[in-house]
Amino acid sequence: MSTLDGCQHNPNEDDVNSPTSSLNFLDQNYQELHQNCLTENTLYNDELFPPDNSSIGLFDDLTHEVDMSQVVWKRPSELVPDPNLIVDGMSRFDYAQGNVLGNCWFLAAIGALTFEKDIIKQVMPAEQSFSEDYAGIFHFRFWRFGKWIDVVIDDQLPTIDDELLFVCSKTYNEFWPALLEKAYAKVCGSYADLHYGFISEALMDFTGGTHMYYILNTAPADLWKIMKCTFKSKTLMGCLVSKTPEENELLHGIAPKHAYTVTGVFEVMSDENPVQLVRLLNPWGMEQWLGDWSDGMSMEDFTNIFEIIEICCLCPDFLDGSAECHWTSKRHFGRWNAGISAGGDIIKTETFWTNPQFRVKLNELNEECASGQSPENILVSLMQNHEKRNRKSQDNFYIGFYVFEMRSQSGRFSSEFFIDREPVAQTDELLCFREVMKFFRLEPGEYMIVPCTENPGEIASIILSVFSKNETHLE
């Protein structure tokens, strides 16, 4: 199975669905529910995400005073006389972040999504509208922890004084941003569960793709070249500001501790010298870069002000610049179980060996891939699978992985194998993220990947994904 122009994907028995064969979230079947409403001439009411405060959730802190007792849930037809799902196409300029919910990470990912029409079709299925066969019901698709799911919602939206409480459209009668936000809030448990996060999480949930990131103060010398290749491919980019509010005077209009969408990279000539520019979108819908180059920003300013750039691609092959080099992907599901397979970090010498052990065999590169522009030939991603519905109710563990070279050995390796054995690759550090990754090079041969948490006994389901431009065998 392969995704849109993506890696050739080899699923195991737990990984067999796609956007067009997605699983029904909470066992709600959109087609059946929609048809029932049409037959009974009623508007859909979603009992599993009801129009009350349980769906809004509890906020630890609010930047604006909001009296939740004043919230009234209304359908778009109660707010405007001529509601539409989409007006004149989907654009990054269609919406602005609301004042209540700190979900710039999610809305910055939407901004990237609007550039890729094929991906939009995956997330927001066609043939939905407020006119033909309207029944107050809509559905969206997201990739969550290795599975594509189809999420049904009704179109009742929280308002105060007839104004949307959360994301707001710049076109008065366009409602796709608010409905998409509501569907994602339902998946995550509530609107409050969208309060704060990382843009990479939403980018992956929109695409089911490969996540890569670069820390900008230690980024490779060819980062500009990577960003140019990224912009030309079906690849989404976002970035995060590192500066604090106390350093606001250094930002020249860029908001501190805030997520942005990278919407373009360009090279222009200034006094006969090339200048590399980065174009950004602020999901607030206001405030912009006030330094040199106006709506654009120089690469130098970009790397000084922003901390990290997030890239989510359908496949890393865009970095090779060769249509003949096809990467493959393999994904396996596993688990850290206390006392069985949750051994902690490598410094826990007595238990580390009990962690799951994944064997990888890399074949020689073919001629097309060997001559590619990117020296890296493998990307490993480790994701901890949140089993609770409410996103904020389950903290991330500090996670990472180590890669060891093997020599045709068989069986499970005990603690002796790891004594004084140096890994040939590893995550830079253990991080408290939903997902960590490493993009690196391995010579043809046999290797073992050992995913771990910081401490023994930390229980979680995991998804290990390996993307490679070698022929790869994973078990």
Strands 445-453 and 358-362: antiparallel
For residue 273, indicate whether it is catalytic.
no
The pLDDT value recorded for residue 11 is 47
Which segments of 112-209 are extended strands (E)? 137-144, 147-154, 157-160, 163-164, 168-169
In this predicted structure, what is the pLDDT of residue 326? Answer: 79
Catalytic residue at 452? no
Q: Is residue 8 part of a domain?
A: no
Q: End-to-end alpha-carbon separation of the chain, Å?
A: 18
pLDDT tens track of the chain, all 475 residues?
A: 333 345 665 544 444 578 888 999 999 999 999 999 999 999 999 999 999 999 999 887 665 677 888 899 999 999 999 999 988 888 777 777 777 777 888 888 888 888 888 888 999 998 899 999 999 999 999 999 889 999 999 999 999 999 998 888 888 899 999 999 999 999 999 999 998 888 999 999 999 888 889 889 888 888 988 898 888 887 899 998 876 666 666 667 777 788 888 988 888 888 888 888 998 888 776 666 666 776 668 888 888 888 999 999 888 877 776 667 778 888 889 999 988 899 999 999 999 999 999 999 888 887 777 766 678 889 999 999 877 788 888 889 999 999 999 877 777 788 888 888 899 999 989 999 899 999 999 998 999 999 999 999 999 999 999 998 877 777 7
Question: Are the beta carbons of 381 and 433 closer than 8 angstroms?
Answer: no
Q: What is the pLDDT of residue 232?
A: 81
**Do 290 and 436 sit in the same domain of this protein?**
no
Task: Tell me, yes or no, whether 46 lies in a domain.
Answer: yes
Give the pLDDT of residue 4: 37
Q: Which is catalytic among the residues 17, 282, 355, 377? A: 282
Identify the active-site residue in 9, 258, 332, 386: 258
Task: Tell me, yes or no, if 258 is annotated catalytic.
Answer: yes
The pLDDT value recorded for residue 291 is 66
Residues 189 and 216 grouped into a single domain: no
141 within domain boundaries? yes
Q: Are strands 95-96 and 168-169 parallel, antiparallel or unpaired?
A: antiparallel
The total number of structural domains that make up the chain: 3
- Provide DSSP, 139-158: EEEEEETTEEEEEEEES-EE
Asked if residue 306 and residue 455 are part of one domain, the reply reads no
Same domain for 460 and 416: yes
* Same-domain status, 364 and 272: no
What pLDDT is stored for residue 365 in this prediction? Answer: 80
What's residue 407's pLDDT? 79
Identify whether residues 68 and 178 lie together within a single domain: yes
Query: Which residue in the list 34, 37, 103, 104 is annotated as catalytic?
Result: 104
Q: 371: domain CATH number?
A: 2.60.120.380
Q: What is the rounded distance in angstroms from the CA atom of residue 104 to the CA atom of residue 213?
A: 18
Q: Does 248 fall in a domain? A: yes
Range of the domain at 151: 15-207
